[in-house]
Amino acid sequence: MKKILTTLLIFCSSYLFAETIFITNNKSEADLIVYVTNNRSEATSFVFITNNKSEAIRKSGAWFYTTNRSEAQLKVYYTNNRGEANTFVYFTLNRAESNK
């Protein structure tokens, strides 16, 4: 069981820091199911949203949203149910805090 959880964590973290994000309403097509938290201590990742695609460097914790599904490196589904999320994200306004 521990090996499965470790593998899942590595898999999720590699997707989590992709640079270009597409938000999907279809949970079954999502690469990552995200619960947004306002509690910094329960977050598994700190993410900074950028409006400049060139700032969203892979594994930087900066996400650039796209409306073009084929351009995205990661499809994200946002949930309000903590139990179905595979990662907890805290959005930060400070770029230096991202990817912690």
Domain map (residue ranges) of the chain: 2-97
**Alpha-carbon span 53 to 64, nearest angstrom:** 6
Which SS3 state, helix, strand or coil, does residue 82 take?
A: helix
pLDDT less than 50: residues of the chain:
4-17
Could you tell me which residues come within 8 angstroms of residue 33 by beta carbon, excluding any fewer than 6 positions away? 27, 76, 77, 79, 84, 85, 86, 87
- pTM assigned to the model: 0.77
The pLDDT of residue 29 is 95
The pLDDT of residue 59 is 66
Cα–Cα distances in Å, from 1 out to 4, 36, 40, 91?
5, 26, 27, 30
